[in-house]
Each structure stands twice: as C-alpha cells, then as structure tokens.
Structure 1
Amino acid sequence: MANVRRISGGTDIYKDGTLTVDFRNKSVIHADKHISVSPTEFHVLEILINNKGLIVRRDTFFQKMWDRYGTFVEDNTLTVTVSRLKTKLGNRADGKSYIETIRGIGYRWKIN
C-alpha cells in the first residue's frame, strides 16, 4: 500500500512496496539501494507522487518547473527526464512501471 506520512522529525516519506522517497532529504531508495536522481528528476517525481493516480499534463510540468524561472525548455526535455526516471526507478513487484505515459497528454503515477 502506498502512502505519504509524517514521521518523527517532520520528514515526509512516501512508500510503495520496495520504493521509498524521502521528500525532505530528496532521496530515493528502491529495493534497499540508493537511487541517484538529478534535482529535475526529483522534482518530476515529487509532482507525480503528489498527484498519484491523476494524469499530470505536460504543460503543468513546464509551469511548475521551468516557466517560473523564465527559461525556455524544449518539449523533449520532459520526455527525456521522465524516461531516465523510469529507468532509474525500475518496476514494481508486479513488473509494471511506476510511471505511466499518457501519449500526447502527460504522465501518471500509477497506484495499486
């Protein structure tokens, strides 16, 4: 069962099977191994988990991540970032990816 909870010290932790995401320390652990993710990948991960089960439109990522700095980013940047994140996270115990691509629209963090 996946959930986000507050533990002592106020740390935000998300657990989903063998995946643990610590939002405060910006760390990701999968199957007892630390996964190195870039700040951009972590921000994508955070947006997806905070909207788990919902489709997050591509333009939402641009608004939340890149447009706030007034920086132009090619559409392909998001595609590459999500692809790298999918590879790093691997699959759930059932063999399916944590992140579902909704072609032409955006991405969804899959829930059980």
Structure 2
Amino acid sequence: MTTLLIVEDDRLLSDGLAFRLSKENYSVRQAFTCREGWSIFREQAVGLVLLDVRLPDGSGLELCRRIREVSGIPVIFLTANDTERDIVEGFELGADDYLAKPFSISVVLQHIKAVLRRSGDEAGERQIQYRDIVIHPAKMKVYKLGEELKLTAGEYRLLSVLAENSGQVLTRALLMEKIWDADGHFVDENTLSVTIRRLRAKIEDDPKDCRYIKTVFGIGYTWGD
C-alpha cells in the first residue's frame, strides 16, 4: 500500500483529501506545516507528497528542495497561487505535477495515479548501483545480491545521500543537515553515529572492513571508492 503525505494547512481540504484517498486504498498521513511534513517524511517510507506552496511556517518550495536532496519520490504541488514564476520554480526544484486550487478531488486522484505510474516506469530505468548494492530511488528500495534490505526511513535517507554523492567526502555536519530537521530533537552526533553503525551492519559483509560506507578520519564519510 502506497503511503501519501499531505502537507496542507487548510484542514478542511486536507481532511477531505485524506478521507477520499484512504477510500482508494492509500495510506494517508497529514501535516499542516513544513516542520510537521519534514518530520513525517524522515520517519516514514512515503511514496508521494501532496504539497501546498504556502504554509504557515515556510515555503513548500523549500520543503520540496529538502526532499529532493535525499529522495526521488513524486511531489505534486497544490496551490492557489498559480503564477508562472511559482510554477516554473516548482518544476525546477523537481516537482512532478502541479494543481491549482480550487480543484476536484477526483482530478487530484487521477493526477496521483498518473504520477505514480510514471515514477514506477522511471524507477525501473533509474538505479544506483555499486558492487552488489542496488538502490531504486523512486521506490525507496535497496537490494543486495537481489535480496531486499529492510532499512528504516533514516537509514534509507542516509544511504541515499551517500550514494547520490558517490566519490565525494560528506562531512558529519552536512549529513546531519541533509538527513535531520535542523530544529528537531534528533540533531546530535550520537544519532548519526548510531544510524551509520546500524546501516553498516545491514549492508557491509564485515562492518570492521567497510567496502561501502568508508570513514574519512577527521572529516566524514564517503560511498564506495
């Protein structure tokens, strides 16, 4: 079952969408601010985001940018502000579709189905592979020797950031900035260390001799050679 995340501050609209989409066999999570949306996104395996451009604590465009730094999941913008500038900026940030309010929930549903079909096709083509690890970004799935690895949302996002920047040394500070909410409760060195240790235990043949997530002492980490 695909999980949809609705980030929309209009509670009546959000509740209406959630009710209808749940009837269509989707699992639905709701957020009413950027912070809530990012918190749910980082903790759960979300398959698609319905994202309002204007939110009480910030811009949905900025939230889209943060999501795109760590994931290729589909994003559909919902907004009453249908200026060309916002539309262009949304697509430049990686949005997959755009719906101007007011809209029919039936139309939203058809757009969701179309975007998920497209992302499924793209996921079959786009893979990130290193040695025997294969990552399917749009599906948020990871395989080793053909076997799917069971990763938490945090472990997946850490792996995704490292793999998308293969060959680059990423500092601990940069990883925490990309993976965790800068204003959340999980921003500390210990959280990152524990996530790296647990991820290594799942993907490395020998966590004491790492081939995938390599430590660059005094700086941070790198993916692969």
TM-score for both structures, normalised by structure 2: 0.42
Equivalent residue letter for 1:22: H
* Separation in structure 1 between the aligned mates of residue 179 and residue 161 of structure 2, nearest angstrom: 10
Once residues 139 and 213 of structure 2 are traced to their aligned partners in structure 1, the CA distance between those partners, rounded to angstroms, is: 22
Q: Does 1:50 align with 2:164?
A: yes
2:181 counterpart of 1:71: no
Which ranges of structure 2 fall in alignment gaps of 5 or more residues?
1-119
Q: What's the C-alpha RMSD, in Å, of the aligned pairs?
A: 2.2
Which residue identity lines up with residue 147 of structure 2 in the other structure?
A: K
Structure number with the bigger relative contact order (C-alpha 8 A, sep ≥ 6) is: 1
Q: 1:10 aligns with which of 105, 108, 122?
A: 122
Q: Is the 8 A contact 1:35 1:88 kept in 2?
A: yes
Does the CA contact (< 8 Å) of 1:91 and 1:98 recur in 2? no
Report the secondary structure of 1:37's partner residue.
coil
8 Å contact from structure 1 (residues 53, 108) kept in 2: yes
1:18-57 CA-to-partner distances (Å, cap 9, x unmatched) read 2111111111110121110011011111110111111001
Distance 2:121 2:223 in 1: 27
| CA distance in structure 2 between the aligned counterparts of 1:96 and 1:59, rounded to whole angstroms | 21
- How many residue pairs get aligned? The number is 102
Shift of 1:10: 1.2
More helix by share: 2
Higher strand share: 1
Alignment TM-score, normalising by the size of structure 1 = 0.79
**Identity score, percent:** 27
Residue 133 of structure 2 is aligned with which of 16, 19, 42? 19
Q: Gaps (5+ residues) in structure 1?
A: 1-7
Q: Deviations over 1:52-101 (max 9, x none)?
A: 11100111112112134x11322111011011111101249xx7520101
